[in-house]
Structure 1
Amino acid sequence: MAVAELCLFPLGTGSPSVGKYLEPVLEVIKASGLKYYVCPMGTVVEGSVEEILELVKKCHEAMLKAGAKRIVINLKIDDRVDKSLTIEGKMGV
């Protein structure tokens, strides 16, 4: 199991408000079935590396469909094979 932090930024939108580009991305994340937490500066998800990478692809496609002409994606993945890794464990909860 891996934990990842995902953040997509639409560029060149002509407005400082980007909610219309992020709403479809959140719908994709909700529909993924992966455990997730929306944070102020990104979203944390838990799943296999393959599931996370597929989710990133779908989020990218959703933002393009919402009209974004340019997208920057920041992705950090923590994948451990020596012990169980969860969002809660990384947060010390």
Structure 2
Amino acid sequence: MSDLYAVADFCLIPMGIGEPSVAKYIAECQRVLEKAGVHYKMHGYGTNIEGPWSAVMQAIHDCHAAVHAKGAPRVATDIRIGTRTDREIAPGQGNEGKVKRVEDILAQEETKA
């Protein structure tokens, strides 16, 4: 079986850094994702990421390593991952496709009102 295509959302939390802002650590993670070759989009409380399962997991691993290297002694991550085998997901369209389907439903309801 080939590598599953994974659509994930993860929130990486640097701990023990002694400052209220985590922005410089998250920026470092975004640099890692840029190089990882996965599709990603940062939002206010995490990052959507998608690609082959092994690439997604490797990218999250590499984010942990980079944030530790930046000085965070501890890193915690919450991850939600979805996969499906009932249809093909075009690379980079997993998260956007989900959002678009909801927006389309809302737009149809507006035109009926």
- Taking structure 1 as the reference length, the TM-score comes to 0.92
Q: 1:52 aligns with which of 28, 51, 56?
A: 56
Q: Which residue of 2 aligns with 1:91?
A: 99
1:21 aligns with 2:17: no
**TM-align CA RMSD:** 1.2
Q: 1:71 aligns with which of 58, 70, 75?
A: 75
- SS, match of residue 47 in structure 1: strand
- SS, match of residue 64 in structure 1: helix
More helix by share: 2
Identity percentage over the alignment? 34
Residue 18 of structure 1 aligns to which amino acid in structure 2?
Answer: V
Q: Using the alignment, how far apart are the partners of 2:54 and 2:81 within structure 1?
A: 11
- SS, match of residue 92 in structure 1: helix
Equivalenced residue count is: 93
Q: Which residue of 2 aligns with 1:2?
A: 6
Q: Which residue of 1 aligns with 2:107?
A: none
- SS, match of residue 71 in structure 2: coil
Structure 2 segments unaligned to the other structure (5+ residues): 102-113
1:30 aligns with 2:34: yes
- Kindly report structure 1 stretches of 4+ aligned residues shifted beyond 2 Å: none
Structure 1 segments unaligned to the other structure (5+ residues): none
Q: Using the alignment, how far apart are the partners of 1:7 and 1:63 within structure 2?
A: 13
Q: After superposition, give the CA deviation of every residue in 1:24-67 in whole Å (9 maximum; x if it has no partner).
A: 11100111121111111110011011111111110100000000
Q: Which residue of 1 aligns with 2:65?
A: 61
Which structure has the greater CA radius of gyration? 2
- Taking structure 2 as the reference length, the TM-score comes to 0.76
Q: Using the alignment, how far apart are the partners of 1:23 and 1:44 within structure 2?
A: 15
